[in-house]
Amino acid sequence: MNARIRIMLDSREIEELAAEDPEVLGMWGKATRTARTALVRALDDDPDARFTLLYQSALQVATAVVRAAGYRVRGDHNHQITFAALAALGSGDLSEAARDLNAIRQGRHAAVYDWQATTDADQLAELRAATAMLLQAALSWLRARRPSLSSRLINPPDFPQ
């Protein structure tokens, strides 16, 4: 167990709790469906909705990986803790995407709750890139660490550039 995970366990931000295959598959399936929905043409004129769905997909992916690793997020600030746990569990693209998403998550509040449209093209492009990277890295991580799921994991959508 790495030091960052140990700190999160000791501070009770996460707890050890094994996840059965159906739970991990269900969360992964939900994440890929949400990502596909985020890319539909009907959202071309609603960047806040697209931002919200891309963010939700990324959070669902992160949750699937954290649960597949045998942990559950607890308490307040669960989005922040989920992405931090994901960064601690992975390396390379998985960890990089998690760190990017933890920084991007601040924009979620504005996209969801502000009465004016707030998401600009750069924010959307940054989130789209981080979500696409996370989906691919998480798929590789899940296949390597939960090989029993490999043939049942739905491939993520292709993200247009």
Assess if residue 38 is contained within a domain. yes
Per the listing, tokens 């993520």 go with 156
- pLDDT for residue 143: 96
**Lookup: tokens for 96:** 């990089």
117 pLDDT above the threshold of 70: no
Alpha-carbon dihedral angle through residues 14, 90, 138, 16, given to the nearest 10 degrees: -20
The domain of 13 spans 3-147
**Is residue 155 one of the residues assigned to a domain?**
no
Find out whether 40 and 161 touch, Cβ atoms under 8 Å: no
pTM: 0.92
| Gap between the Cα atoms of 112 and 73, Å rounded | 22
Answer yes or no: is pLDDT of 87 > 70: yes
Q: Which residue has the higher pLDDT, 91 or 3?
A: 3
111 part of a folded domain: yes
The alpha carbon of residue 131 and the mean position of all alpha carbons in its chain are separated, in whole angstroms, by 7
Task: Give me the number of domains the chain comprises.
Answer: 1
Location of structure tokens 């707030």 = 118
The predicted model gives 107-126 an average pLDDT of 78
